[in-house]
Amino acid sequence: MSSFVLIFVCFALGIFFRRYKIFPSNAALALNRFVIYVSLPALTLSQIHRLNLGDNLLVPVSMPWLTYLLGLGFFYAVGKYTQLPKKTIGTLTLTGSLGNTSFVGFPLLEAFYGAGAVAIGILVDQPGSFLIAGSLGVATAAYYSGGSIHPGALLKKVFAFPPFLSLLIAFPMRAISFSPQTFQILDRLGNTLVPLALVAVGMQLHFHPEKIKNNFKALCWGLGFKMFLMPLICVAVYAGIFQLKGETVLYTLVESAMAPMITAGIIAVEYDLDIELAHLMVGIGIPLSLATVPVWAWALEFLK
C-alpha cells in the first residue's frame, strides 16, 4: 500500500513543482535523463540477473508488437470511417498503440507486485515498446507526415539508448555471480526510478479544457482503444485463446493497460503530426491510468 501511495505523492509533487516554479523549467528533462542513463540501466542489470528464464518470456516480448499491429489497422479504419485528418490518424496510431510501459508501468508493477515484477516489465518495454517506437513508430510518423525514413538513423537511435544497451549486456552477465554488495548498489540506484520518473511526469503535464473539448472525439477513440479495448483483446488472446496463466502473463496484461507512451507523443511532435492531440493523449492518459490500471490489476488476479 505504501508503494501505491508513493506513486500519487510523487505525481502530485511534480505537478506542485511545475505550478509554483520551484525547479528550473528544464528540470523534468534532467530527471528523465538520470532515469534513462542511471536508474533504468541499474534496475535492468539487477532484475534480469534475478529473472527466472523458465518463465514464458515470449508473452511479454510479443504483447507490444501485437498491440501495435492491431493499432495500425484499428486507427487506419477509424480514420477513414470518421474522415480524420491524416496527421491525426498518425498521432492516434502512435499514442494509442504504444503504452507507457516504463516510466509509469514500472512504478505501478512494483507497487502492485514488488520489484521482481519489474523484470517482466523490462522485457515488455525494451525489446517491445521501445524497439517498436524506435522502428515502426518512427516509420509510422514519417508516413503520416509525408517525410522519409532513414534505416541507419533508426538503428543508431535504438542501439544508442542506454536501457536497451543494458538489456543486451544483462543477459550475458547472468553467467557472472554478483556479490551482495553489487546487488545493493544496483538496487539503490534502481530504486530512484519510481520517485524521479513520476515527479518528472507530473512536471510535464498540462490541462487545457478548451483543447480537450476540441479533441474530445479523437481522445475517446485513442484512450478508449489504449486503456480499455486493447487490454480486453490481450486477455482474450493470451488467457482465452492460448489459455496461459501465471505471474508473467498477469504482469504482461497489466502492462497492456498502461497509458499512452511519452516517447510516442514526442515522436508525433518531432514529425509535426497532431501536436495538440499528442500532448492531450499523454497528459490525460497518465493520470487516468492511475485509476484504471489498479482496476485491471484487481480484475486479472485470477491469472496468478
Q: What is the pLDDT of residue 48?
A: 82
Q: What is the pLDDT of residue 259?
A: 94
Q: What is the pLDDT of residue 304?
A: 83
Q: What is the pLDDT of residue 1?
A: 56
Q: What is the pLDDT of residue 272?
A: 87
Backbone angles phi, psi at 215, to 5 degrees: -110, 15
Q: Give per-residue pLDDT as tens, 221-237.
A: 999 999 999 999 999 99
Report the amino acid identity of residue 58.
L
Count of residues for the chain? 304
Domains of the chain: 2-303 (1.20.1530.20)
3-class DSSP assignment, residue 261: coil
CB 130 within 8 A of CB 153: no
User: What is the CB neighbour count within 10 angstroms for residue 191?
Assistant: 16
Segments in the chain below pLDDT 50: none
3-class DSSP assignment, residue 12: helix
CB 278 within 8 A of CB 89: no
Q: What is the pLDDT of residue 131?
A: 82
Angle of CA points 222, 228, 229, to nearest 5° = 80
Q: Give per-residue pLDDT as tens, 77-95.
A: 999 999 999 999 999 999 9
Number of H helices, E strands in the chain: 19, 0
Q: What is the pLDDT of residue 47?
A: 82
Q: What is the pLDDT of residue 299?
A: 96
CB 235 within 8 A of CB 59: no
Measured distance CA(304)–CA(302) in Å, rounded: 6
Angle of CA points 15, 195, 117, to nearest 5° = 130
Q: What is the pLDDT of residue 2?
A: 65
